[in-house]
Amino acid sequence: MMPGPLIRRALGPAEHWVTGLYRRCFVDVRQFAADLASDLSPASILDVGCGEGQSTEALAEVFSKASIVGVDITPRVGRLFRGDNQRVRFIREDIGAFADQNKGTFDLAVLCDVLHHLPVDQRAGFLQNVASCMRPRGWLVVKEWQPRASLVHLLCYLGDRYLTGDRVRYADGVELRELLNGVPSLSVDHDTPVRPWRNNIAIWARFVHDRDEAEVRSIR
């Protein structure tokens, strides 16, 4: 067993607070959610790879009227979520199986630090499944950690690699944009920084049936 689950178990009631503090050392998830809310007003949100629910919690706080679904394959999906369970639900399921049952359902899909945990050859198919869950002209926002030669990047890698056990591979902004534009139904619109480190980047893409629709702006 990797040390991550053992450390979390040892934290007891402090786990929610400590894990949130640890994550904020690398990315301010609440600020990321607030940045999304400053531009978008979706009625339905899909949080893909939501893990134990802390990114979903941040989304639920700023999108106070949206219905939200968090989906992940972890048996602990949504375990640390603290919020409104009337409009937020969690599903333990592979994204392919989930997409088969939820096509054209969501205005906004969010992936927060998910792709670098996936094998490179599975990423395009994964994104295609996510895109199929979106309504026409909906947004897909992919937040990722870009590799840079720095101490904070080394610490992030060590945490990702040895606390989770995943063989992580990070991608820079250029690679991420190419990946998203390579999915037939997606068109990259722009990217934005995410606090507190320059490693953090959010790529915004639109779900379009036709590339000519890429100029159409948003659910604002």
Instruction: Quote the number of domains for the chain.
Output: 1
Per the omega criterion (within 30 degrees of 0), is the bond before 196 cis? yes
Is 218 within a domain? Answer: no
Distance, CA of 40 to chain centre: 16
Tell me whether residue 143 is in a domain.
Answer: yes
Residue at 219 is within a domain: no
Residues 31, 58: Cα–Cα separation, whole Å: 9
Q: Is residue 202 part of a domain?
A: yes
Cα 200 to Cα 32, 78, 170, 182: the distances in Å are: 10, 24, 11, 22
126 in any annotated domain = yes
217 within some domain: no
- pLDDT at residue 22, as a whole number: 85
Q: Dump pLDDT digits (tens) for 171-206.
A: 999 999 999 999 999 999 999 999 999 999 999 999
Max CA separation in the chain (angstroms)? 53
User: How would you label 110-121 residue by residue, b for 16+ Cβ within 10 Å and e otherwise?
Assistant: bbbbbbbebeee
pLDDT at position 108 is 98
Q: What is the pLDDT of residues 136-145, one digit of tens each?
A: 999 999 999 9
Instruction: Return all residues near 170 (Cβ < 8 A) that are at least 6 apart.
Output: 116, 144, 145, 146, 147, 157
Q: Which two tokens stand for residue 32?
A: 């990321």
Boundaries of domain holding 205: 3-211
Residues of the chain with pLDDT under 70: 1-11, 209-220
Contact indicator for 133, 104 with CB cutoff of 8 Å:
yes
CA angle in degrees (0–180, nearest 5) for 79-84-90: 40
CATH, residue 57:
3.40.50.150
Q: Please check whether residue 220 lies inside any domain of the structure.
A: no
**Using an 8 Å Cβ cutoff, are 78 and 70 in contact?**
yes
Whether the Cβ atoms of residue 87 and residue 67 lie closer than 8 Å to each other: yes
Asked whether the whole model's pTM tops 0.95, one would answer: no
Instruction: Confirm whether 216 is domain-assigned.
Output: no
